[in-house]
Amino acid sequence: MRRTVGTRTVGILGGGIAGLTLAALLAGRGHAVTVYEQDRAGGKLRREQAGGLSFDTGPSLFTFPDVWRAVLARLHEPDPLDLRPLPGALGVHHTPHGPVPLPVPPSYALFPHWQRYVRAAEPLRAHLTTLLTTPPRLNDPAFLRASAALLRATGPHASAAAWLRARHLPPALEHALATHALNAGLSPADAPALYALIPALVGADVSRPAHGMGALLDALRGFGEARGLTIREGVGVRALSDTTLTLNGGEVRRHDLIVSAVDPARLARLRGQSVRPGPRTVSGVAVYAALPAPAPLPTTSVIPPDSFRDFRAALRAGALPHTTLTLVHADGPRLAVLLTAPPTGRPLSADHPWVRGQLRRAERTLNVPGLLASALDTVTLNPAHYARGGHPGGAIYGAALPAWRGGPLHPQPYRLTPDLWQVGTGVHPGGGLPAILGGALIVDRLLGEAGW
């Protein structure tokens, strides 16, 4: 993009999906945008190599694609991702009460209960994209309509667990649905009621780019670079004063505008502010295994904790739960096993007794004993890895806040000062890619209204 005299400069701290999305949007309006990323661009979405295979880490599927389409529309770009439906959609949930595929097929005895559950969430369906992409302002009619729809759907129930209990669903279905509270990084008793509705709102509309989730990273980089974006990888920031950055090597850079796409706690430390300790969202252990042959497994398998009450108590105590949420994604000889862990920053390796125990539990549940032992090579990412990315204790969604402060209420302010804004999972919490991309759209709109 050709720049003119007087172009204003923007520094974005953090090159994850939120930072790259907002960078492309701002660069598209003619600003000189630089992204500072202490590691590799992509944040949690990165590529790792094992056994001669490439693995895309981080988000494993696409839901609510209208949010992505809204990003493309604002950039005036065609969709380069070639999204393909994911076989099995949200996967089979192996609850203590029996397996439950989501969505529930008509041939299952649980189907009438699933239909009743879907009807309860239906008032929100037409408004979900608005909730994910619209600034939370009481003078915005679209936001008010969407918020009213959310309140009609959730009623007086603040948490996902309370909403599900009020539905009087069979135990197997309730347990499977409660699992999706972890999209907020919280147990069902702590997550906003909205997260209990996610399986109904997603339905079978689950996809993945034809060339893997890494295609999203490639697309965002390409959009930004075509608009003159500069991405400085391996360049961390050690201090921020007003709009002046001090980089780890001592270099000093000043910008007209700073946008933080790092965890709010990390931003506070960069500004020399104290960070008050408090509850955090979950962390995780991700094991990526290169197998000698395709795994005899469906695309997605979900193994919830046996008891969400015990799971919650362990996480609150910073202890390793007896049974945890385990996600298993199989793609030919590529196998990804994702374990939910407490946000303690512990360097849990694949050989740690707790990790080994949870992996054996997954193999028993899926009837594939010894599958991981056959792997040609593995890569493990743990809470210590996520903590190095700036999330205290490796908490993937940052601070844990009361259920009533989630959803459309967006607990963190987007604008901290006239020249310092923030975006990302710690600001527009939970929900995976839809919330990350939607948060970038919100901040882009607000910056545009502020003259950027």
Q: pLDDT tens digits, residue range 140-175?
A: 999 999 999 999 999 999 899 999 999 999 999 999
pLDDT at 3: 43
| CA 130-132-135 angle, 5° bins | 75
For the segment 306-331, what is each residue's pLDDT rounded down to a tens digit?
A: 999 999 999 999 999 999 999 999 99
For the segment 54-81, what is each residue's pLDDT rounded down to a tens digit?
A: 999 989 999 999 999 999 999 999 999 9
Q: Which residues does residue 330 pair with via DSSP β-bridges, in sequence order?
A: 335
When pLDDT is cut at 50, 70 and 90, the band that residue 256 belongs to is: very high
Task: Please write down the HEC assignment for all residues of 12-36.
Answer: EECCEHHHHHHHHHHHCCCCEEEEE
CA distances from 92 to 1, 95, 329 (A): 47, 9, 11
Angle at which helix 17-27 crosses helix 65-75, to 10 degrees, equals 30
Q: For the chain, what is the mean pLDDT?
A: 93
The three-state secondary structure class of 177 is helix
Would you put residue 51 in left (φ > 0), alpha (ψ -120 to 50) or beta?
left
pLDDT > 70? residue 354: yes
Q: What is the mean pLDDT of residues 386-398?
A: 84
pLDDT at 407: 60
* Fold designation for 9-46+65-82+212-278+397-449: FAD/NAD(P)-binding domain (3.50.50)
In the block, which residue shows the tokens 């988000």? 59
pLDDT > 80? residue 412: no
For the segment 433-444, what is each residue's pLDDT rounded down to a tens digit?
A: 999 999 999 999
Among the ranges given (139-148, 189-198, 398-407), the one the predictor scored with the smallest mean pLDDT: 398-407
Among the ranges given (108-117, 209-218, 387-396), the one the predictor scored with the smallest mean pLDDT: 387-396
pLDDT at 4: 45
Between 219 and 249, whose confidence is greater? 219
Closest CA to 94 of 188, 13, 175, 182: 175
Cβ-Cβ contacts under 8 Å for 189 (sequence gap 6 or more) = 159, 160, 161, 162, 308, 309, 312
Q: Where are the domains of the chain?
A: 9-46+65-82+212-278+397-449, 112-196, 283-342+348-381
When pLDDT is cut at 50, 70 and 90, the band that residue 408 belongs to is: low
When pLDDT is cut at 50, 70 and 90, the band that residue 404 belongs to is: low
Q: What is the mean pLDDT of residues 231-238?
A: 96
When pLDDT is cut at 50, 70 and 90, the band that residue 1 belongs to is: very low
pLDDT over 70, % of the chain: 95
pLDDT > 60? residue 214: yes
Cβ-Cβ contacts under 8 Å for 376 (sequence gap 6 or more) = 50, 51, 52, 290, 291, 292
pLDDT at 406: 64
* pTM, two decimal places: 0.95
When pLDDT is cut at 50, 70 and 90, the band that residue 5 belongs to is: very low
Q: What is the mean pLDDT of residues 180-204?
A: 93
pLDDT at 150: 92
Between 270 and 2, whose confidence is greater? 270
In the block, which residue shows the tokens 């910056």? 447
For the segment 95-148, what is each residue's pLDDT rounded down to a tens digit?
A: 999 999 999 999 999 999 999 999 999 999 999 999 999 998 889 999 999 999
Chain mean position to CA 144: 25
The identity of residue 338, as a single letter, is L
Q: Distance between CA 29 and CA 428 in Å, rounded? A: 23
Q: What does the block give as tokens for 363?
A: 């193999």
pLDDT over 90, % of the chain: 84
Closest CA to 63 of 38, 36, 90: 90
